[in-house]
């Protein structure tokens, strides 16, 4: 068993406020082997991200690293990484000592539903699998969930768990899309999938980001936990023996032709 803390926090435009919320959530995650926070934990989406983006050795990631080391708990969280003309939407993976083990730059940018993330963010190019808490974790961010080929690539790199972080936008059918897609990526790859979104932030509700609905979905697409819409930290368990049972029942990865 691996215990994961789904850390569904609201996100402010102010990085120090968000770092404080991360530290509070980690204090509530006692007993977890891995803590996962949303996309854009550094600061809420908006044109200000180009001003607040930091290098990976900047104060926010350094603060995450210090907190991870203090609690002896690996952390995955979303930040905006400074670049040349545009920032990167980056998921950082820190180990239990606070060392940076991987940085995944979001490949698929949200140029949909009237938004154009690519105006501010440069896309990444490489799928990333990182070893944390004794597991090979495949990283994905928000709009990536709509692209099954990325998740197949993570399988081919040896992923044993998908960690999907998001600042999912609200709107007609959008929440339904999120739930359906997370379940589909888990089922079609017979893979435990931990998906963590921002909790709604009433103080910033006009932008529509953050629907909550952080989930743990098992390898047969069954939702084992759903955090609903409110902020909170939920501890969930990944049963690795069940993965073997599910794949014996549904050996679709063995049956791949392409």
Could you confirm whether 142 is annotated as catalytic? yes
Give the predicted TM-score (pTM) of the model: 0.97
pLDDT single digits (tens) 66-117: 999 999 999 999 999 998 899 999 999 999 999 999 999 999 999 999 999 9
The answer to whether 229 touches 200, Cβ cutoff 8 Å, is yes
pLDDT level of residue 208 (50, 70, 90 thresholds):
confident
Q: How many Cβ atoms from other residues are within 10 Å of residue 30's Cβ? A: 11
- Considering the candidates 7, 81, 117, 142, report the single residue annotated as catalytic: 142
3-state secondary structure of 162: strand
From the candidates 54, 81, 106, 160, give the one annotated as an active-site residue. 106
Q: What is the DSSP string of 55-86?
A: -TTSHHHHHHHHHHHHHT--EEEEEEE--SSS
23 is annotated as an active-site residue: no
Lowest pLDDT segment from 171-175, 196-200, 224-228, 230-234: 171-175
pLDDT tens digits, one per residue of 144-176: 999 999 999 999 999 999 999 999 999 999 999
Q: Is 175 a known active-site residue?
A: no
Instruction: Pick the catalytic residue from 7, 39, 81, 160.
Output: 39
Which 3 state secondary structure label does DSSP give 54? strand
Q: Is 123 exposed, middle or buried (0-12, 13-18, 19+ CB in 10 A)?
A: middle
């Amino acid at each position: 068993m691996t215990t994961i803390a789904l850390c569904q926090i609201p996100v402010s435009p102010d990085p120090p406020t968000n770092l404080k919320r991360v530290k509070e959530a980690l204090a509530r995650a006692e007993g977890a082997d891995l803590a996962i926070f949303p996309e854009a934990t550094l600061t809420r989406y908006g044109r200000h991200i180009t001003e607040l983006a930091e290098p990976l050795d900047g104060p926010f990631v350094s603060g995450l690293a210090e907190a991870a080391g203090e609690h002896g708990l690996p952390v995955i969280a979303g930040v905006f990484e400074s670049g040349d003309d545009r920032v990167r939407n980056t998921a950082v993976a820190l180990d239990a000592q606070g060392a940076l083990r991987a940085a995944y730059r979001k490949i698929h940018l949200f140029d949909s539903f009237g938004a154009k993330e690519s105006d501010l963010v440069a896309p990444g190019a490489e799928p990333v699998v990182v070893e944390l808490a004794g597991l090979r974790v495949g990283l994905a961010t928000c709009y990536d969930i709509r692209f099954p080929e990325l998740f197949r690539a993570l399988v081919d790199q040896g992923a044993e768990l998908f960690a999907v972080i998001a600042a999912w936008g609200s709107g007609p059918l959008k929440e339904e899309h999120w739930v359906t897609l997370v379940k589909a990526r888990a089922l079609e790859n017979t893979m435990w999938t931990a998906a963590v979104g921002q909790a709604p932030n009433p103080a910033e509700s006009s932008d529509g980001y953050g629907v909550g609905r952080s989930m743990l979905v098992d390898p047969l697409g069954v939702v084992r936990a759903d955090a609903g819409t409110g902020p909170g930290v939920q501890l969930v368990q990944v049963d690795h023996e069940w993965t073997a049972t599910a794949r014996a029942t549904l050996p679709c990865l063995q049956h791949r032709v392409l």
